[in-house]
Amino acid sequence: MKKTLIIGASPEPSRYAYKAAHMLTERGHQIVNIGIKKGEVAAVEIEKPGDVYKDIDTITLYIGPSLQPQYYNYIVATKPKRVIFNPGTENSQLQSLLDEHDIEYTEACTLVLLSTGQY
């Protein structure tokens, strides 16, 4: 299973990050929720970025490019195997930074990857 850090986690059921958190946990993946809203998603508390997790396989992004720069150092320090840019989160500046640090990335939808067995 792939431990996944969700950036942009939200306790709002209509949000895709919320749906992804539930789908990930239903399929046995451990999650870490990072976001600005208080609460929990899929029985996991939403944290503010702080502690750097060293055992993350995948970071899945649910924040737009304008909010991403404040997370650049955090993402790089986490050293995930890959970063998923969900629709609307694509960012060539962050992708260049990931290239510099040999971190794989893909522009895809986490929900689709999970649904089709490609996660």
Read off the pLDDT of residues 9-34 as tens digits, 9 standing for 90 and up.
Answer: 999 999 999 999 999 999 999 999 99
Read off the pLDDT of residues 38-74 as tens digits, 9 standing for 90 and up.
Answer: 999 999 999 998 889 999 999 999 999 999 999 999 9
CA-CA distance, 119 to 97, in Å (whole number)? 23
Q: What is the CATH number of domain 4-90+104-115?
A: 3.40.50.720
Three-class secondary structure of residue 76 per DSSP:
helix
Ordered by start, the domain boundaries in the chain are: 4-90+104-115
| pTM of the shown model | 0.96
